[in-house]
Amino acid sequence: MQHDVIVVGAGPAGSTTAFECGRRGASVLILDRAKFPRDKPCGGGVSIRSAKLLPFDLSPVVERTISWIRFSWRQSGDFGRDYPQPVTYLTQRSRLDAFLLQKAVDVGVAFVPHAQVKDIRRAKSGVEVLAGAVWHQGRTLVAADGANGIAARLAGIPARLSLGVALEGNITPKEGVLQRWNATMGFDLGDVPGGYGWLFPKGDHVNVGVGGWRTAGPTLRRRLDRLVRYYGFEPGQLWGLRGHYLPVRTGASCLTEGNALAVGDAAGLLDPLTGEGIYAAIFSGQTASEHLAAYLSGAAPSLAGYEDELRETLLPELDAGRTLHTLFHLSPRMYVRLQRRSPKVWQAVCKLLRGERSYLDVRRRLGLGWHLAALIAAVTYLVTSLRREAAYGGAHGQGQRGLLGRLRTPA
């Protein structure tokens, strides 16, 4: 059987693409190496702006609704900010991903678990995907197998990525999640180069993690232990400890090749400022489905319109996020002070999380000042990147798998 669309990967990007294609009447097959539900390294935050993209309610899998954030600077001087409306939802990826996959199955999408992709063959007439020992035929291909996936590379559209890295674990308090974290999440700034630490409460446990530049990888276990103690727990209470990469797309990356395209983390579509990828996963999946439908119906000669549209919509937003990330890390302490003292800064952050304002809105408000800020950020990013990589390469020369293995080892 030849399917209209073969999607490799059943995360938010893949399931969203499949759902949207399926409800348009396309025959869709999802292949994933795992059986669902399955867990995945991720803090489990779903911003309100991400949830607004979906045509259905996420409440069945929401474990906490957040309207408070507690900030701290290098595990000291914490303070809280509250907002009259929710700013984000917290869930577990095992539940969220299974929920989105089921939505796709409900509209007629076929799903094959335990289907490890080994090879992809592309031709003008279609694609062939070898998963396990079985070849599957389709007219188009969607690479949605994440930062560590191989589908995009095998299809001829490998993403050029700048990698961050994170380490996280869970703690189940004997007395249950404390009341102070009922509708509150925590962010600790200034300790992790290029990133931050967090505490996200779930139904019966909390998720604690640290993430930042890849060069901070060998120090993350020590930093995580320190953060865990700051929040009142012991490192020995951690379970489900996992390291993972944060893939940030570079401007040179392509998103399509012939009858194949990439979405979500597989395309490096991650917010550089927050490290959050679910918004871009859903947005890119929905956009991809529109262009797949046009291509399959003969209304479009290729899938190039997908990349063209993202270059007009999502990619400028992510580029602005990269600039803001660089500017933020020039002086994260200044941001903490502003957050403590300025209600306007807090309100701006909440509006970003709720989708009421975008990074591009920030750029427009700054006017000519943005161009100066972008120049400073570009030069700073280049210089600091070269310095970090030079130091990292000399002291920690190793492959990606080696780094992830080291993350879980106490320093």
CATH label of the domain that carries residue 117: 3.50.50.60
Q: Is 162 in a helix, a strand, or coil?
A: strand
Burial class (CB in 10 A: 0-12, 13-18, 19+), 264: buried
Q: Does residue 126 lie in a domain region? A: yes
- Give the range of the structural domain holding residue 52, as residue numbers without chain letter: 2-41+48-56+92-159+252-318
- The predicted pLDDT at position 392 comes to 55
Separation CA 56–CA 102 (nearest Å): 12
- Rounded Cα distance between 329 and 93, Å, is 28
DSSP 409: S
Q: 163 near 171, Cβ under 8 Å? A: no
Position 370 scores a pLDDT of: 78
Does residue 336 belong to any structural domain of this protein? no
Split into its structural domains, the chain has a count of 1
Inside any domain, residue 190: no
pTM beyond 0.85: the answer is yes
DSSP reduced 3-state for 157: coil
- Residue 372 placed within a domain: no
Res 385: pLDDT: 61
Q: For residue 115, tell me if it sits in a domain.
A: yes
Task: Report the alpha-carbon distance of residue 310 to residue 354 in Å, rounded.
Answer: 21
Can you tell me the distance from the alpha carbon of 183 to that of 135, in angstroms, rounded to the nearest whole number? 48
For 182, the 3-state DSSP assignment is coil
* 33 domain-assigned: yes
Domain presence at residue 21 = yes
pLDDT in 10s for each residue of the chain, 411 residues: 899 999 999 999 999 999 999 999 999 999 999 999 998 889 999 999 999 999 999 999 999 999 999 999 999 999 999 999 999 999 999 999 999 999 999 999 999 999 999 999 998 789 999 999 999 999 999 999 998 899 999 999 987 888 899 999 999 999 889 899 999 999 999 999 999 999 999 999 999 999 999 989 999 999 999 999 999 999 999 999 999 999 888 877 899 999 999 999 999 999 999 999 999 999 999 999 999 999 999 999 999 999 999 999 999 999 999 888 888 888 888 899 999 999 999 999 999 999 999 999 988 988 877 777 777 766 766 666 666 566 555 444 444 445 555 555 554
**What was the pLDDT predicted at 178?**
87
